[in-house]
Structure 1
Amino acid sequence: MKRNIELIIILLFTILTLSCKNEEKEENNNVAKTKDVSENLNISLLLDLSDRISPTKYPNPTMEYYLRDVGYINSVSEAFTEHVRSKKVIQAQDKIQLFFDPTPLNPQINKISKDLKIEINKGNVSRELINNTKTIYAKNPLEIYKLAIKDGNYIGSDIWRFFKTKINDYCIEKEYRNILVILTDGYIYYKDTQMKEGNLTSYLTPELIKSGNLNTSSWNTKRIDQKFGFLKANTNLSNLEILVLGINPDTKNPYEEDVIKTYWTNWFQVMKVKRFEIRNADLPSNMDKIIKDFISKKI
């Protein structure tokens, strides 16, 4: 009898020990899975091909603005390829792509941009593909800008509509760390997307800032009292990180930069963007670390 009791106790202890180990193993597997998911990058670039890139209308003797964009894109692609190289083959599951809104009328631009939609996974990852990705992103964007400038058909930038109708489908995927890099001077205007509700608008121009008297030291008080800002275009972007590069305020208004950044900040906050940074136009060499730090930083 005593022997039977001892056997039962040993059996129960063994079952309990195995159960705890299995639970611990399952928990570790879940942690590993979550960690792997957070390592999957889904990077999108949204280009503003409005007249801001025109060397004729907005010349810059230090470095033309479209060339700065090209430098920023190169830093993004380098951060992306460095990330892919750091992973084991079995963990490869990363994407990078480039968008415009509206789509340029030049079919050649659209053809070139298709090559910029790249997915690297465990089934196709190779040193050659990674190197080709870096090469394509160093070459194709420059060709796109040159064609857009040559056409001279600057139809504006419909960034607001992109956030309203496309961003969820194009830029956000489950089990990825979703990052959107927007290259813009901070102004938004497209002739077919001009909506206004009180002082909330789907656009932002120097003329709007001036007409709203947001060009004096009391600009923020006026903005708050009169409720100036962007109309909300989306309700929940909590799985998206955004880096805005190239803010280039009109220098005739010393408060223009603050107004632009406040518009964008409040817009992102009301749309519940997970994380964002808004940076002025600067030389690519100065922006390289900022861009790579944003992409490499995990939250």
Structure 2
Amino acid sequence: MARYLTIIMTIVCAWAMAGCNEIEEAVKDAKKDGSAPPKDNYMVLLDLSDRILYNNQQQVPKDIQVIQSIYAAFKSKLNAKDPTRLYFTVNDKLKLMVAPQRTTSNEVYDLAGNLRLTLASAQPEQKAKMLEETEKNFNTLLPQMYKKAVISNNSTSYAGADIWKYFNEDLQDDLEKDAQNTLFIITDGYMDFESLQGRTSRNNRYTSCVQIINNLKKAPDWNSRFKEGDYGLLPVNKRFPNLKVIVLELNPKDDWTGEYNLLTTIWSKWFNEMGIKSYAFIKDDNINEINESIEKLLKVKLPSSANITSVSWTPVTESDPEITKAAKNRTNTQIQPTETPTVIENAPEAAPKKENSKSYNSYSSYAYSEPAEVIKKEKNVKEREYIRTSAVKSQIDTSSIHLRTNPKKPISKPKEQVTFGPAY
């Protein structure tokens, strides 16, 4: 009996060793081959401005489903490159980012920093496992991130998402020289941001789509005026020829029939001026229509929406701890009024910066802070003297005096059907 057990154990060990040897040999062969499939670099940029309040915050689960679909497309590409699902020679990359926005907390940027996958950094035998773990992170952390992004149910509490700043300062660092770079921008399409310092309008070039639309929407020949007047967004003096861009969830207002066409015309001109020739637009719609659009643009097959993890979202209310915490933080950063407000109100207007000014704070995936307002020397002297004198007289605490903030942004836009802009 003992003899039979010994034989069986020997056979089992031999099978196990054979299996291990096969894996080792596969890894060695992949390393020897040296021929890696074309590399893809997917970047997902989120606009977390007041658009996420749309339809009682039901824009949030839509966003999450769209991000999950992009991840599914990324995974489908990987599987096409390596049907073995081992991904030994695949070095693709996916990264989720939040557009610079003053009212977005650091916690949101921290969570976004965990939503990325860089296969090149993993050992070949660990790549499949890394893919599975990243997918779980997306399903778990995305709802948490959006929960912290909802800081209020009032649109005026949100600063605009500064997509222009991302293109100007950070996009270049996120590109991979040896890859096909694809940037997905999830936004309503209006590119409104609060800070106009250093980006003042000039010669029909503006800092947001709304400014252009308001100038042209009442003109029956808006298209001719747009071209002849050289209307558009302020240019970013950089070029990105090795980049594809897909703008998702465009949500034009419905009070003017030409809104969507002008909106996409503005974006198209901006892209072309940066040397971006491959771009497309997808309107906000039900997830199945959006998935179909993604499949056509990326030439992939996505799993049905029933096979993608469903998102259950309970709207955040003003009584939720996260909103209470965010409101408290905003209160702590607001300026405390002084006894003589004329020091602020009658101060001379801030001098505009030059477009290429180096005085902007840098943006990273983890934090964003709004640059301080430029104040003329005369105003500084008067204000410091006033604060010093008042502090001596009344022994006030000057540590709580901060710059004034006044976020303003239009309310969310109504929903529209999906259509396409220029295809790849």
Q: So what's the TM-score if we normalise by structure 2?
A: 0.56
CA distance 1:281–1:132, shift in 2 (3 Å): same
1:151 shift after superposition: 4.7
2:206 and 2:212 in contact (8 A); partners too: no
Aligned to 1:107: 106
1:112 shift after superposition: 1.2
Question: Whole-Å Cα distance in 2 between the matches of residues 107 and 162 of structure 1?
Answer: 17
Q: How many residue pairs align between the two structures?
A: 257
CA distance 1:289–1:222, shift in 2 (3 Å): same
Q: SS state of the match for residue 221, structure 1?
A: helix
Aligned to 1:288: 291
Aligned to 2:355: none
Q: What are the within-5 Å matches in structure 2 for residues 110-125 of structure 1?
A: 110-121=109-120, 123-124=123-124, 125=126
Q: Percent identity?
A: 25
- 1:244 equivalent to 2:254? Answer no
Aligned to 2:48: 49
What letter is aligned with 1:123? Q
Gaps spanning 5+ residues in structure 2: where?
Answer: 1-32, 301-423
Aligned to 1:73: 67
1:107 shift after superposition: 2.7
Aligned to 2:76: 82
Aligned to 1:157: 161
CA distance 1:134–1:295, shift in 2 (3 Å): farther
1:141 shift after superposition: 2.4
More strand by share: 1
Aligned to 2:359: none
1:229 and 1:267 in contact (8 A); partners too: yes
2:245 and 2:278 in contact (8 A); partners too: yes
Q: SS state of the match for residue 197, structure 1?
A: coil
1:216 shift after superposition: 4.2
1:215 and 1:254 in contact (8 A); partners too: no
Aligned to 2:205: 200
Q: What are the within-5 Å matches in structure 2 for residues 220-239 of structure 1?
A: 220-239=223-242
CA distance 1:112–1:250, shift in 2 (3 Å): same
CA distance 1:87–1:69, shift in 2 (3 Å): same
What letter is aligned with 1:143? Q
1:81 and 1:134 in contact (8 A); partners too: no
1:146-166 per-residue CA deviation (whole Å, 9 max, x = no partner) reads 221145542111111111111
Question: Whole-Å Cα distance in 2 between the matches of residues 260 and 105 of structure 1?
Answer: 25
Question: Whole-Å Cα distance in 2 between the matches of residues 126 and 155 of structure 1?
Answer: 39
More helix by share: 1
What letter is aligned with 1:114? G
1:40 shift after superposition: 0.9
Q: SS state of the match for residue 55, structure 2?
A: coil
Gaps spanning 5+ residues in structure 1: where?
Answer: 1-31
Question: Whole-Å Cα distance in 1 between the matches of residues 52 and 141 of structure 2?
Answer: 16
1:293 shift after superposition: 3.5
Aligned to 2:89: 91
Between structure 1 and structure 2, the one with the greater Rg is 2
Q: SS state of the match for residue 131, structure 1?
A: helix
CA distance 1:59–1:215, shift in 2 (3 Å): farther
Q: SS state of the match for residue 178, structure 2?
A: coil
1:156 and 1:189 in contact (8 A); partners too: yes
1:142-189 per-residue CA deviation (whole Å, 9 max, x = no partner) reads 32222211455421111111111111112x111111000000111012
Moved more, 119-128 or 214-223: 119-128
1:209-265 per-residue CA deviation (whole Å, 9 max, x = no partner) reads 22x132443211221222211122143211000000011111111111111000011
Question: Whole-Å Cα distance in 2 between the matches of residues 245 and 164 of structure 1?
Answer: 20
1:155 and 1:190 in contact (8 A); partners too: yes
Question: Whole-Å Cα distance in 1 between the matches of residues 200 and 295 of structure 2?
Answer: 36
1:36 shift after superposition: 4.0
Question: Whole-Å Cα distance in 1 between the matches of residues 123 and 251 of structure 2?
Answer: 42
1:76 and 1:292 in contact (8 A); partners too: no
1:137 shift after superposition: 2.2
Question: Whole-Å Cα distance in 2 between the matches of residues 102 and 235 of structure 1?
Answer: 19
1:43 and 1:178 in contact (8 A); partners too: yes
Q: So what's the TM-score if we normalise by structure 1?
A: 0.78
2:96 and 2:115 in contact (8 A); partners too: yes
What letter is aligned with 2:48? L
1:86 shift after superposition: 3.2
- 1:133 equivalent to 2:134? Answer yes
1:229 and 1:266 in contact (8 A); partners too: yes
